[in-house]
Amino acid sequence: MDARGTDINTVQPQEKQYSYLNLGPTHPATHGIFQNVLKMDGEIIVDSEPTIGYIHRAFEKLAERRPFNQITPITDRLNYCSAPINNIGWHMTVEKLIKADIPKRVQYLRVIIMELARITDHLICNAVVGVDTGALTGFVYLFQQRELAYEIYEEICGARLTTNIGRVGGFERDFSPKAWEKIHRFLDEFPKVLKEFENLLKRNRIFMDRTIGVGGITAERALQYSFTGPNLRAAGVDYDVRVAKPYSSYEDFEFTIPVGINGDVYDRFMVRQEEMWQSLSIMRQAIDKLPDGPYHAEIPDFYLPPKEEVYNNMEALIYQFKIVMGETDVPKGEVYHSVEAGNGELGFYLISDGGRTPFRLHFRRPCFIFYQAYPEMIRGSMLSDAILTMSSMNVIAGELDA
């Protein structure tokens, strides 16, 4: 009995109340358009309800109305941080369907571009993890290097972000001397900057405290959720499409697949970091071993002839007309081709009924598949950790929403 006459032994605490926090759709910390309604107990996340589809553009439906070469620009807009991988993955799917024989030089050039794209993809992700832990410097510093990489794309295909690089069968033109100069400059300058960035964060006590043990997922759960790419490898599974089913001559190169242990933010950061070093090594190997030869395959039914040929040669004119009007005969068939994109296994499941457009084209988008594990990964953590988990998973809205 206290002074006011209430028995403290019978007093019940106030009924527990949760608060709801609407994170997104447009929130600067989510780096894209994602909405999460978080159920919070104080600062602890009890549950979350993600809503996606804010930038859905019906790519699978669009693809059913487009000739094969017009689908390449659609693939740009999936994971726009590494558009060349998507483009080349699509070209290889069509080449598989038509059973085209691709020259070694084209395959090596593709490897160079794809690894460059992987570097730009991981670079953004890791720089953003830095930003979300409070280190803006690394982000700004690395973006100078990304600019160099984008200049290389520009030199090769004329575009920077949505690259539409290459054609079915190879590249539209050979790499110019200036492109080679820029590639060598990148290979020369980037490692120093990357090392500096790594030194800034790798053994940084603040960074380690913020990332180790945060947003983790076990290998079993990751496989249950069909994770692929760096997020799966950070959990300790060494699955990489480049090794599991080599495409574009990846079997010719020596590289290791970094794996993590805990699958937390720090492991994902380190896996991406190491993959960038491996990508640099693959690029160097490809340049050293680069064979001579043509920069495109001899498939006149699909590869546009040079313009002067079109004006002076009847046959070339016919091919040009057929390709541009989408009159080329395509074999019937069902093809699945997958590439190791920035975020994991990017698959193209293509059903052709022999018509000018695909009968059905399904994109296996790694982001869409692993983002569904996000509520489980942030349950019980703090709001600031949820932000960090999302950026370290590298969820790209374009790939998520197709």
> By CB under 8 A, is residue 334 in contact with other proteins?
yes
143's tokens = 């973006």
The whole-angstrom separation of Cα 345 and Cα 348 is: 10
* Binding region for other proteins (CB under 8 A) out of 16-24, 173-181, 278-286, 335-343: 335-343
The whole-angstrom separation of Cα 54 and Cα 299 is: 39
> By CB under 8 A, is residue 255 in contact with other proteins?
no
Interface positions, 339-398, toward other proteins (CB under 8 A): 345, 347, 349, 351, 356-357, 360, 362, 364, 368-369, 371-373
The whole-angstrom separation of Cα 174 and Cα 90 is: 20
DSSP assignment of 66-80 equals S-GGGSHHHHHTSSG
Task: Decide: 85 and 147 in contact? Cβ < 8 Å.
Answer: no
Q: How many residues sit close enough to other proteins to count as binding (CB under 8 A)?
A: 45
Interface positions, 53-72, toward other proteins (CB under 8 A): 53, 56, 58, 60-62, 64-65
CB of 270 to other proteins, least distance (A): 22
Q: Which is nearer to other proteins, 116 or 297 (CB)?
A: 297
> By CB under 8 A, is residue 323 in contact with other proteins?
no
CB of 338 to other proteins, least distance (A): 8
Binding marks (x or -) toward other proteins, 115..154, rule CB under 8 A?
Answer: ----------------------------------------
Q: Which is nearer to other proteins, 174 or 376 (CB)?
A: 376
Which of 326, 379, 382, 384 touches other proteins (CB under 8 A)?
A: 326
Between β-strands 360-364 and 344-352, what pairing exists: parallel, antiparallel or unpaired? antiparallel
Q: Which is nearer to other proteins, 37 or 159 (CB)?
A: 37
Q: H helices of 28-176, where?
A: 59-63, 72-76, 83-98, 104-132, 136-157
CB of 127 to other proteins, least distance (A): 28
> By CB under 8 A, is residue 221 in contact with other proteins?
yes
Give φ, ψ of 349 to 5 degrees: -105, 110
> By CB under 8 A, is residue 321 in contact with other proteins?
no
The whole-angstrom separation of Cα 44 and Cα 380 is: 6
* Binding region for other proteins (CB under 8 A) out of 120-128, 195-203, 250-258, 319-327: 319-327
The residues, ordered by sequence, that sit 6+ positions from 61 with a Cβ below 8 Å of its Cβ are: none
DSSP assignment of 133-145 equals TT-HHHHHHHHHH
Q: Which is nearer to other proteins, 64 or 301 (CB)?
A: 64
Burial 388-400 (b: 16+ CB within 10 A, else e): bbbbbbbbbbbbb
Q: Which is nearer to other proteins, 96 or 146 (CB)?
A: 96
Prior bond to 25 cis, omega within 30?
yes
Q: Which is nearer to other proteins, 73 or 333 (CB)?
A: 333
The residues, ordered by sequence, that sit 6+ positions from 337 with a Cβ below 8 Å of its Cβ are: 89, 92, 93, 96, 247, 347, 348, 350
Q: Which is nearer to other proteins, 69 or 338 (CB)?
A: 338
360's tokens = 């059905």
> By CB under 8 A, is residue 190 in contact with other proteins?
no
* Binding region for other proteins (CB under 8 A) out of 8-16, 157-165, 166-174, 225-233: 225-233
Task: Decide: 110 and 84 in contact? Cβ < 8 Å.
Answer: no
> By CB under 8 A, is residue 224 in contact with other proteins?
yes
DSSP assignment of 206-263 equals HHHHHHTTSS---HHHHHHTT--THHHHHTT----HHHHS--TTGGGS-------SS-
Residues that bind other proteins (CB under 8 A): 52-53, 56, 58, 60-62, 64-65, 96-97, 221, 223-227, 237, 239, 244-245, 325-327, 333-336, 338, 345, 347, 349, 351, 356-357, 360, 362, 364, 368-369, 371-373, 401-402
